[in-house]
Amino acid sequence: MKSSQEFRLAGVDSLEDVERALGTIHGNRECGLAVSAKNLNKRRGSFRDAAYLQALLTWARLNPEAALNVDGGSEKSALEILGEACGYSSGIAAMSLSGSVKVRGEPVARQLALLGAKSRIEAAYQGDYDSLVHGRTIDLLSVSGATRQYLKPLFNGPSPRKVKDKFDLKSTIRGLAMRAAPSSTGLDESTISSLATLTHELFENTQDHAISNEQGQVYRRHVELLNVGWIASSEVDAKGDFYGNETLKAYWDAISSSQTGREKVAGLSFNFLDSGPGMAARLLGKPVFQMTAEEEATALQQCLRMHVTSKSTHATGLGLNAVLSEIALAAGFVRIRSGRQAIFKCFLPGANSAIQNLDFENWFGPQRELLRVAGTLVSIFIPLPRPTL
């Protein structure tokens, strides 16, 4: 293959679609990527949006010199196409991490390509959620090297050591949740507090370990994302997202039965994504492809256990344990996609909410082998009554 060749991703909507797209990405890892501005700007729901972005980051990490070729309708100018691509975190992150950017096959300077992202990055920096919300999803994207890299909703100052503490982050979590679902009866204070604790630990850990690869070599560019959205999953959606595992099927059916209207499961989704080497790779200090599947799975489970951290500084590691207790009470789930692993833990309505262990199941079933992804994506879903419109 030649680096001048390119492939195209289209029709990526469900989690199953994302996994198929990863097959295409790995199979064309030496090629550039062609994608329409419309697909980069498309909202699929916060849960799927984060998974789609992780696939794009995987392509950028597999071939850091490759070009991202953005196209659009023939009636649009190059600046209009770039403006549309910069309308959401997917396009901004992909253009930030790609080796170079093209529009309809013509090279364009990265600074010019990202010009349309300026107002969105400023809104994220200021915590202007009204300017960020689209439908019922809000995304906070941190882009390395940007003047506004350290967003005020997440940082107390322009430094990786200034991640807000869990007490300050409570207002951020509350504000994002209320803007995503303003009429929802919403999250209680203990859930907000546990999510704030997890946000603090994930972003603090990201500043230590998601800015460099397994050997400690600093990436040329990196991104971190927090997005929050109100999602309503239909039976059709469930077949592309939840039906890879019998436990998930049972969970979806139980939540669907407990909510008004059996055709949908509704609630808030919180998604945390980084473009680092992944949890197991960070812990063991070597790339995933040098591990056996069993070694990787064991390392990932170890990362998730209470008091275990790969950080060089002292940390409690209580964030996941705390949020799992609240997820159990709310009959929610947590999903983690990192390396070649996609694992989850869910809680049925009315079941014993005590956290017995942190053993996770495979999202797509125990027999399926997955391709590796860049970074780590932690997704949390909390079912809630539908907002009254």
Domain boundaries, the chain: 189-383
Place of tokens 């770039």: 82
Query: SS3 of 341, please?
Result: strand
pLDDT at 389: 47
CATH class belonging to 189-383: alpha beta
Mean pLDDT of 253-277: 86
Report the residue count for the chain: 389
Q: 253-257 — which CB contacts under 8 Å span 24+ positions?
A: 254/331, 254/348, 254/349, 255/331, 255/349, 255/383
| pTM attached to this predicted model | 0.93
pLDDT at 385: 73
pLDDT grade, residue 23 (50/70/90)?
very high
Percent of the chain residues topping a pLDDT of 70:
90
pLDDT at 54: 98
**70-100 tens-digit pLDDT:** 999 888 999 999 999 999 999 999 999 999 9
Mean pLDDT of 140-162: 94
What radius of gyration do the chain's Cα atoms show?
Answer: 20
The CA distance from 192 to 384, in Å, is 14
How would you list the strands of the sheet with 264-274, edge to edge? 137-143, 223-234, 264-274, 373-383, 333-339, 341-346, 361-362
pLDDT of 276 over the 50 cut: yes
* Beta-carbon contacts of residue 322 (< 8 Å; ≥ 6 apart): 193, 194, 197, 198
pLDDT at 318: 54
Mean pLDDT, the chain, integer: 88
pLDDT at 313: 42
